[in-house]
Amino acid sequence: MKKLLTILAITGLLFLGTVQSSHALTTVQTEQADEAAAESKTFHQILKQRFIEGGPFFMGIVLIALILGLAIAIERIIYLNMASTNTKKLVNNIDEALSSGGVEAAKEVCRNTKGPVASIFYQGLDRMDEGVEQAEKAVVSYGGVQMGLLEKNISWLSLFIALAPMLGFMGTVIGMIGAFDSIQAANDISPGVVAGGIKVALLTTVFGLVVAIILQIFYNYIISKVDSIVNSMEDASISLIDLLIRHKK
């Protein structure tokens, strides 16, 4: 009987040891799986998590600034690309039209050509019956109108560039205020009490700066595109006046 009890006791101890070892192995595997899942998070998931941690109010406002800024930037880029014209080819076509069909033929070429340069040419040719000087004044005046259309809404883009980091800094200040409120309420300066407010503060700042950097890149591209089109307009306008003077004689 004693031998049977001894055997049962030994068997029970071995069974308990096996169960504990299995449980420990399962725990380790679960922790490793959690770590692997945390490491395998995509950039989109991490960004979403940080956005939520930063607080919906200020992060939402900064996100709206990003969306509106990108909408304006994309609209301007499309418009400016459509406004780009091969000015040398247009000037040659106008020269041939003036030689073969006169001012009306040149105006027809302008009507069939898209872009601000063709519109400026049309206004100058339309005043040709009043003299070259009036045509030149019309070209200069309408050139200013077209320049205004090229620069339309760019000031709003610069506003969002300045506004995004300012909103981020405001979120930073409010986050720091929240951190000090937590310290006052807990009457303790432990890292766990302060970390939440500081984390919100830093996240709003980072997000605001990222938005400003993205919009600044688009802004610089748009400004360079506008400058290129304006230079082409001015050069083509000079060429048009020379053509009008030559064909007027």
Residues 197 and 135 in one domain: no
Looking at the 3D structure of the chain, how many domains does it have?
Answer: 2
Residues 141 and 102 in one domain: yes
Residues 166 and 121 in one domain: no
By C-alpha distance, which of 82, 230, 212 is closest to 157? Answer: 212
Least confident of 40-49, 102-111, 152-161: 40-49
Residues 145 and 161 in one domain: no
Residues 160 and 64 in one domain: yes
**CB neighbour class for 185 (10 Å; exposed up to 12, middle 13-18, buried from 19):** exposed
Share of residues in the chain with pLDDT > 70 (%): 69
How far, rounded to the nearest angstrom, does the alpha carbon of residue 90 sit from its chain's CA centroid? 34
**CB neighbour class for 247 (10 Å; exposed up to 12, middle 13-18, buried from 19):** middle
Give the domain-ending residue among 102, 132, 150: 150
* Angle of CA points 82, 87, 88, to nearest 5°: 145
- Give dist(CA 205, CA 164) in Å, integer: 9
Residues 223-241 pLDDT 10s: 999 999 988 888 888 888 8
The verdict on residue 111 lying in a domain is yes
Predicted confidence band of residue 188 (pLDDT cuts 50, 70, 90): low
Residues 221 and 157 in one domain: yes
Determine how many CB atoms are found less than 10 A away from the CB of residue 183: 15
Predicted confidence band of residue 4 (pLDDT cuts 50, 70, 90): very low
Range of the domain at 90: 85-150
Residues 63 and 133 in one domain: no
The verdict on residue 127 lying in a domain is yes
